[in-house]
Amino acid sequence: MEVHVICYLLVGAVMLFAGVYGFFTRRNLLATLISVELMLNAANINFAVFNRYLFPGMLEGHFFALFGIAISAAETAVAIAIMINVYRNVRNIQTDDISDLKG
Amino acid sequence: MNNSNLSAILSLHAELSLVVVLVVVLLADLLRKPDAGGRWFRVMVCLLMGVQVFLDLTPDARSLFGGMYVNTPFTSVVKSILSAGTLLVFLQCGEWLGRRDTRFRQGEFYVLTLSTLLGMFFMLSSGHFLMFYIGLETASIPMACVVAMDKYRHHSAEAGAKFILSSMFSSALLLYGLSLLYGTCGTLYFADVPGLLQGSPLQQLALVLFIAGMGFKMSLVPFHLWTADVYQGAPTGVTAYLSVISKGAAAVALAVVLRFVFPLMKDDWTLTIAVLSVVSITVANLMAILQGDMKRFMAFSSISQAGYIVLGALAGTAQGMASMAYYIAVYVVANVAVFAVISTIEQHTGGLTSRDDYRGLYRTNPRLTLVMTLALFSLGGIPPFAGFFSKFFIFAAAFEEGWWVVVFLALLNTIISLYYYLLVVKAMYISEPEDGRCVVAPMRSAPGVRLCLVLCVAGICALGLCSGFYEGLEYWAEAL
Amino acid sequence: MEYTILILLLPVLSFLLLALAGMKMSHRVSGLIGTVVLGAVTALSYMAAYDYFSLPRQADGTFATLVPWNAVWLPFTESLHIDMGVLLDPISVMMLVVISTVSFMVHIYSFGYMKGERGFQRYYAFLSLFTFSMLGLVVATNIFQMYVFWELVGVSSYLLIGFYYTKPEAIAASKKAFIVTRFADLGFLIGILIYGYYVGTFSFTPTETGLMQGAMMLPLALGLMFVGGAGKSAMFPLHIWLPDAMEGPTPVSALIHAATMVVAGVYQVARMFPLYIAYAPETLHIVAYVGAFTAFYAASVACVQSDIKRVLAFSTISQIGFMMVALGVCTGAPSHEGGLGYMASMFHLFTHAMFKALLFLGAGCIIHAVHSNEMSTMGGLRKYMPVTHVTFLIACLAISGIPPFSGFFSKDEILTACFAFSPVMGWIMTLIAGMTAFYMFRLYYGIFWGRENKELHAAHVPHESPLSMTFPLMVLAAITCVAGFIPFGHFVTGDGLSYDIHLDATVAATSCVVAVVAIALATFMYARDTQPVADALARRFPRLHEAAYRRFYMDEAWLFVTKRIIFRCVSRPVAWFDRHVVDGFMNFLAWAANASGEEVQPMQSGRIQAYVLWFMAGIIVLTLMLLLCV
Amino acid sequence: MNILSLFVLIPALMLLGLWAARSINQVRGVMVAGASALLALSVWLTVAYLQARGAGETAEMLFTDSVMWYAPLHICYSVGVDGISVVMLLLSAIIVFTGTFASWKLQPLTKEYFLWFTLLSTGVFGFFISTDLFTMFMFYEVALIPMYLLIGVWGSGRKEYAAMKLTLMLMGGSAFLLIGILGIYYGAGAQTMDVVELARLHNIPESMQHVFFPAVFLGFGVLGALFPFHTWSPDGHASAPTAVSMLHAGVLMKLGGYGCFRVAMYLMPEGLAAWGDFFLVLTTISVVYGAFSAVVQTDLKYINAYSSVSHCGLVLFALLMMTRTSCTGAILQMLSHGLMTALFFALIGMIYGRTHTRDVRELSGLMKIMPFLAVGYVVAGLANLGLPGLSGFVAEMTVFVGSFEHADVFHRTCTIIATTSIVVTAVYILRVVGKILFGTCQNPAHLKLTDATWDERLAVICLIVCVAGLGLAPWWVSDAIGGSVEPIVSHLLVLNP
């Protein structure tokens, strides 16, 4: 049976907001990082779906998705590196511990 | 065919030359002794950048890779402005990099910074949102590393974490917005999108998400909250770079895209930009009044400056673009000068960045104080310094498009901004230090810093009084 | 008669010389410079008077009005401009003579009186300045030139009253004099503005068309100008500065506050006389009533003052009241009936200048002798200072209107004019004339007769003044004796035609009788060593006596207005408003910026979740804005 | 090389010279040389101007020159003078010259002081010579900012507060001004920034004039101490060092009136027609209000500052009357107020330098102790209360007569209200003179004080001569001004009959 494009988009949207929500609520830096990954992948899903359903026969969306994945991988790498750095400094990666700079 | 391809490739000379510099620096870094002082290394980098500044310029517009990459004289001028700014930053970073605990990492600093610059170049001359996005990320990811450079300083790490996380957040949303745009248009070529826009709610949402993502890079309120913390936490040189180069690049890129990709949704984005600009200027000014730490203070000042910069995008005209680029150039020299002074004092006093430490600075370091004063006056828009002209032009551009109220509110804000710039001047000239003598001893800054300051002062004084620069920008902007 | 310009130039030159180089000179030299210059000026004025009046009369029998000098000083518009020049007509020439004579006498007198004073040179410099201003005032060719010199006269009077600038009373008096007259001058200025706007010129002789346009506003304009005149001439209620002005050196009081400056108001009215008669007779009559009331008020106060200079000051006010009345009672009636008062007023101005200057100079000699102004320190001085005594007596007789002294003739003309205007006015003025005689002789007896203040005189024997001081007395006394016989009507009359003064027998008789009776009364009350009657009266009507002695509390009233109303109720609130409301608002703005900064600060909480929350909020708000607005 | 550009060039050279100067004497040398050169230049200019007019030169601006600067916005560096700017230049040169001597012994940081002082005067001169809106505005702001440091560093009393307040309020004014200038430029079709040209075009839409006339008028009015935007003036003047008060009250406040006349009124007559009465009321208030506030002040400088509010209010008042005479009077008033208030501030500064107090209640009997300064003070006071023969009288009478020329009753009522200020002026002047100069000295410490030194005498005498000169021979000035006021006023009267 044919799954309507809206469903996919809904999945994407749900992922996005799940990510956003996670980012708001999670106190652990790694958890927030995972949430951001959710958001990025939501966008990637959109690209793939749009390409597949609305503009079949072209590859722009797919390529965009691929690049998006690659870039998010790079970002994650850097992010984790920095978190290690944070951990080395404060022995902890709770978001509350990186709130010295304020005001 | 082949031949023409080659020449086509060569017309990437801005990016290519930058890559060359990057590679050379990388290799040289591998070859040199890691714990050596590395003065000659720094000199070499600066020389290479000095050459690179002139390699950016191109006389004619070129489009490559089937329109993925578009290079125009205007963007090339902006690129060389950015390279020049980077050079100034490098000059002032010498002292910091020469320190025992950082000298073995200076190669990385240069490489990472240059790669962000490369990313900005691509972002500026992209003809497709994919290229744009790649450029954007290339510009931001290494930035996070540089921000976290002083890895044994807690604040540096915190700043890095905040930067990378929030920038990932914003880029995710931007990416989502792009996906929506793609979904509604079916293509992401700058050349094709305008024909397919019809201003549907989805596109409006996409537009907002896009502007938000760029607003994050330029740190417009309310997407600015990372700015102050990161500026304060990052090494001062990096802060200087962040505050001028990436901001400027993002601003021009945003202006270009809005003007040429979203012409049909002009009402939408002008309104959005107008609101963002006024809010940014006002909120940032109000916050800046309260800051006692110079780096944090400059963070808010730069936020409000970003608010002024986007007025050029608001106009969405050739004059707007020109005055924007001009504003950025002027802003670069002034801001870099301020940061140079800040970092010099920081380096010589073991990390003093509080405004109260500047009391009576004029007694001990008249030269530095004078440079600082000129730079601050230029930022505050006081004639005969360049800042006055740039403000006037950008206001004129926005005014011409009928944004009287916005311009007026921005003008009222100049009073507040003048107030807090004068607070610094007051600290340096008027206020008496607590124990009668200034905590900053008379000092002699490094040659690189001095050269940087000289260049900045020259720019502050000359850019305004000599009209050629602006007229050139105007000409190229018309040619866009 | 171009040389008349010298009459103005010489004093100003001597002023500059003395003001700039005076400190380098010895007293004698500077005094000589001033006096010699004034002598020259006097000679020139007499010469001018002789030449002028010996000119053939015009066809209509009047003296021509000469303008030997006139130049635009400050142009405003084509028609309106301040000119500076010299205008010669009967009254200005007459004034030239009066001013230069008295001033010359005062210059000589001051040699003795101011001997050894600190700031002798300054004194003579100011005298020259005053003389210059006064002369410039009388020869003004237009109302604005008059105003210019009017102000200059005011300031030189200010400087001379405050000559003893270390005496607080002197400072206060000079300030008071300047501010009160300044206040009056405001009226003068507005009057000039109205005159200039409606009549279209500042000159004394407007064009017919100008008068046509301005006729409706002329009464107002002239009335306001008279306010200025009233201020200078110390008309009630603007008279309060004059008694205090006696703080200045006595010769100055003689020159400025008796003979010349205080009659400037009279002169001004006389100057505008044709306009008054033709366009504003009612205003002229108001002048008369003001003058009459002032004359009465001043005379009644003068009866109880104990400071001889104060007495003289009030008698001056009263006499000026006479002159004002004389002008005021003039009407448009044909031939000399209507214009009689004009001639009388000018005549009285002339004679009064002489004998009042004489009185003041005499008072100066007395003060010089006993070092005090208080009558209590005097008495029985006649044997110590004979010359002063005789001349003083002559002056008293003159002012009381006893023939054949000059005062009799001029006052008689005034009374005649008053009777011609209305019997009531005539009788009132006659009564006041009687009071004049009374208080003058009270003064005379109090000084020269009565009980002698033995112990004081023993301590310091009074002595006759040196010749430099007595000589002017004799000269003025001589003038006083003969001036009455000057055929004044041949020179100055309301319509300019020649006119023989003839005494109205009844009026003359009544006034003489009244005067004699008054003198007799004064003799009865004050000639003896003790004054039971006077004291009895003082005890009988303590309130009245007290009130009269305190000048009917006019000063207090003015003090109330200035201190309480202006100072407390206007200036202080205004200043407070400025500091706390206007300025407070500006400070409030600054405070508000700071406060709102602190309001937005929590946004920067340092927690990254909060940051992205704001981020999302911003996106949502912007999206909604676009969806709803665009 | 246009002769007028020298007015900017000479100060620029002075700046370089001061920068290079090593000793205090070199600094003084540079200042005296430059100031004298400027004075000579302005005198020469005045003579040349009068000759040119005498020769029948009818152009509105003389000695004009224009160099295209920023072509895209039609910004030129264009200079030119008419009678008004000529006398203003003369005034500025005199004040700079005397101010140099008034701050002869200033300590510390003499060099820096004179650097900023010269920068300030550069702005002033540049403003008066330029006929291009942008250049005008630029020089205007150049003149504003040095005030901050001059007051903040070398001032006295609550100097930091006063300096900040003054700078911010004036900057607020210039914010209005800038928006107004943009309005003019784009309203007139973005063709030119030249004032004369704009006036000739006269094509700003009426609706825009209604918006931007008040902006420009307020912008300049703040500097002209227009009620209720005058409160920077008392604090600022009270805290500023002598020469700065002189230059600021003497010249800088005149920029306000000049700008209101040359820019706001000249370029936007319809706007003037709409807003004239409103501002007239404000100016009338400032005239009387300033005088009354001065009566109760106890600080000499405050008294003078408030009297400046009153007198500068009279300038704007006269301008708004829009008759030829009243506008001439306004310019005369600027000139005369500039001279006499500079004289006042110079003397106050000298007295303060000796007694270290400006409180009227603590000073007395100075006439005996420092006769020269005291006499100078009396002269200044008499000039201030409009004594004939000194400049004040000439100016005020021209203003009053001219204002009364206005046919409208409302305007003449305002005139009569304004005239009352001359009495109040007399009150506060004589109060001060009586209190501090006359009487006997109460404070024994003051008895040992000395009279003026040669440099102070030079400054004071120079100013007194100017005041008296203007007061005694006003006709040529008023001719020079009147001739130049004529075209502007006629331009206005055509539109507001």
pLDDT, tens digit, for every residue of C231-285? Answer: 999 888 888 888 888 888 889 888 888 888 889 999 999 998 888 888 888 888 8
C38 pLDDT more than 80 = yes
What confidence score (pLDDT) does residue B1 get? 42
Encode pLDDT of C98-112 as tens digits. 999 999 999 999 888
What confidence score (pLDDT) does residue D496 get? 59
B410 pLDDT more than 90 = yes
Q: At what angle do helices D421-432 and D269-295 cross, to 10 degrees?
A: 40
- Name all chains with 3 or more CB-CB pairs below 8 Å to chain A: B, C
Counting CB pairs under 8 A, whether chains C and D reach 3 or more, is yes
Torsion angle defined by CA atoms of residues B143, B145, B146 and B148, in that order, rounded to the nearest 10 degrees: 120
Using alpha carbons, select from C45, C50, C72, C51 the residue that is nearest to residue C1.
Answer: C51
Q: Residue A58: count other Cβ atoms within 10 Å of its Cβ.
A: 12
The reply to whether A20 touches chain C by the CB within 8 Å rule is: yes
* Nearest residue in chain A measured CA to CA from C612: A24
Burial letters for D152-188: b for 16+ Cβ neighbours within 10 Å, e otherwise?
A: bbbbbeebbebbbbbbbbbbbbbbbbbbbbbbbbbbb
D409 pLDDT more than 60 = yes
Asked if residues C357 and C255 have their Cβ atoms less than 8 Å apart, the reply is yes
- Contacting residues of B for D72, CB less than 8 Å apart: 319, 322, 470-471, 474
Asked if residues D444 and D80 have their Cβ atoms less than 8 Å apart, the reply is no
Residues in chain B whose Cβ is within 8 Å of chain D = 319, 322, 377, 382-384, 388-389, 392-393, 395-396, 399-400, 404, 407-408, 411-412, 414-415, 418-419, 422, 425-426, 429-431, 467, 470-471, 474
Asked if residues C449 and C523 have their Cβ atoms less than 8 Å apart, the reply is no
- Contacting residues of C for B211, CB less than 8 Å apart: 622
Q: What average pLDDT does range C442-471 have in this prediction?
A: 81
Give me chain C's average pLDDT, please. Answer: 87
Cβ within 8 Å of residue D389, ≥6 positions away: C148, C152, D468, D471, D472
Read off φ and ψ for residue B71, nearest 5 degrees.
-120, 125
B408 pLDDT more than 80 = yes
The reply to whether A18 touches chain C by the CB within 8 Å rule is: no
Q: How many residues does chain C have?
A: 630
Using alpha carbons, select from B333, B357, B332 the residue that is nearest to residue B346.
Answer: B357
Share of chain C above pLDDT 70, in %: 99
In the beta sheet, which residues pair with residue B62?
B71
Whether omega before B235 lies within 30 degrees of 0, making that bond cis, reads no
Phi-psi region of B128 (alpha: psi -120 to 50; beta: other; left: phi over 0): beta
Asked if residues B369 and B362 have their Cβ atoms less than 8 Å apart, the reply is yes
Contact B208 C619 (CB under 8 A): yes
Asked if residues C157 and C180 have their Cβ atoms less than 8 Å apart, the reply is no
Encode pLDDT of D157-175 as tens digits. 888 899 999 999 999 999 9
Contact C77 D474 (CB under 8 A): no
Using alpha carbons, select from C370, C515, C505, C514 the residue that is nearest to residue C448.
Answer: C370
What confidence score (pLDDT) does residue C335 get? 61
Fold entry, domain A5-92: Helix Hairpins (1.10.287)
Counting CB pairs under 8 A, whether chains D and B reach 3 or more, is yes
DSSP string, B282-343: HHHHHHHHH--BHHHHHHHHHHHHHHHHHHHHHH-SHHHHHHHHHHHHHHHHHHHHHHHHHH
Q: Which of B396, B411, B415 is the closest to D168 by Cβ?
A: B415
Using alpha carbons, select from B191, B247, B195 the residue that is nearest to residue B219.
Answer: B247
DSSP C29: H
List the structure tokens of B217.
């890079």
Q: How sure is the predictor about C186, in pLDDT bands with cuts at 50, 70 and 90?
A: very high
D149 pLDDT more than 80 = yes
Read off φ and ψ for residue C485, nearest 5 degrees.
-90, 0
Choose from C142, C152, C189 for mutation: most chain D CBs within 10 A. Answer: C189
- Contacting residues of B for A83, CB less than 8 Å apart: 161
Read off φ and ψ for residue C114, nearest 5 degrees.
-95, 10
Cβ within 8 Å of residue A14, ≥6 positions away: A42
Q: What average pLDDT does range C327-353 have in this prediction?
A: 83
How far from the centroid of its chain's Cα atoms is residue D414's Cα? 23
Q: What average pLDDT does range D363-386 have in this prediction?
A: 88
The reply to whether A101 touches chain C by the CB within 8 Å rule is: yes
Using CA atoms, how far apart are residues B28 and B26, in angstroms rounded to an integer?
6
Please report which helix (H) or strand (E) contains residue C95, including its range: helix C90-113
State the Cα angle at B472 between B468 and B478, rounded to 5°. 145
Using CA atoms, how far apart are residues C241 and C232, in angstroms rounded to an integer?
9
Contact A24 C613 (CB under 8 A): yes
Contact B176 A71 (CB under 8 A): no
C389 pLDDT more than 60 = yes
Cβ contacts from C onto D, under 8 A: 122
Phi-psi region of C584 (alpha: psi -120 to 50; beta: other; left: phi over 0): alpha
Q: C66-75 and B62-64: which strand pairing?
A: unpaired
Encode pLDDT of D427-474 as tens digits. 889 888 888 888 888 888 877 888 878 888 888 999 999 999 988 888
Of B102-116, B278-292, C498-512, minimum mean pLDDT range: C498-512
Q: How sure is the predictor about D283, in pLDDT bands with cuts at 50, 70 and 90?
A: very high
Using CA atoms, how far apart are residues B361 and B341, in angstroms rounded to an integer?
11
Contact C606 A96 (CB under 8 A): no
Cβ contacts from B onto C, under 8 A: 85
Cα distance from C590 to chain A (closest Cα, Å)? 20
Read off φ and ψ for residue D70, nearest 5 degrees.
-110, 95
Residue that the structure tokens 């405001």 belong to: C186
Instruction: Give the number of domains in chain B.
Output: 1
Query: Helix, strand, coil % (nearest 5) of chain D?
Result: 80, 5, 15
The reply to whether A98 touches chain C by the CB within 8 Å rule is: yes
Asked if residues D266 and D489 have their Cβ atoms less than 8 Å apart, the reply is no
Cα distance from A82 to chain B (closest Cα, Å)? 6
What confidence score (pLDDT) does residue B20 get? 93
Q: Residue B366: count other Cβ atoms within 10 Å of its Cβ.
A: 14
* AA letter at D23: S
DSSP C484: T
Contact B162 C611 (CB under 8 A): yes
How far from the centroid of its chain's Cα atoms is residue C525's Cα? 33
Cα distance from B267 to chain C (closest Cα, Å)? 7
Residues in chain B whose Cβ is within 8 Å of chain A = 129-130, 133-134, 137, 141, 144-145, 148, 151-155, 157-162, 164-165, 168-169, 171-173, 175-176, 178-180, 182-183, 186-188, 228-229, 232-233, 290, 296
Using CA atoms, how far apart are residues C376 and B389, in angstroms rounded to an integer?
84
- Contacting residues of A for C612, CB less than 8 Å apart: 20, 23-24
Encode pLDDT of D318-372 as tens digits. 999 888 889 999 999 999 999 999 999 999 988 888 888 888 888 888 888 888 8
Q: Which of C151, C186, C574 is the closest to D419 by Cβ?
A: C186
Asked if residues C259 and C472 have their Cβ atoms less than 8 Å apart, the reply is no
Q: Residue C48: count other Cβ atoms within 10 Å of its Cβ.
A: 25
Of C207-221, C484-498, C505-519, D351-365, minimum mean pLDDT range: C484-498
Asked if residues D387 and C152 have their Cβ atoms less than 8 Å apart, the reply is yes
Read off φ and ψ for residue B315, nearest 5 degrees.
-60, -40
Cβ within 8 Å of residue A52, ≥6 positions away: A61
What confidence score (pLDDT) does residue C601 get? 87
Using CA atoms, how far apart are residues B149 and B172, in angstroms rounded to an integer?
24
Q: What average pLDDT does range D466-495 have in this prediction?
A: 83
Q: pTM of the prediction?
A: 0.90
Read off φ and ψ for residue B293, nearest 5 degrees.
-90, 130
Please report which helix (H) or strand (E) contains residue A58, including its range: none
* Nearest residue in chain C measured CA to CA from B275: C622
Give me chain B's average pLDDT, please. Answer: 90
List the structure tokens of C305.
């003052």
Domain ranges, residue B94: 2-479
Query: Helix, strand, coil % (nearest 5) of chain B?
Result: 80, 0, 20
* Nearest residue in chain C measured CA to CA from B219: C615
* Nearest residue in chain B measured CA to CA from D108: B363
Burial letters for B118-139: b for 16+ Cβ neighbours within 10 Å, e otherwise?
A: bbbbbbbbbbbbbbbbbbbbbb
Residue that the structure tokens 């020109």 belong to: B322
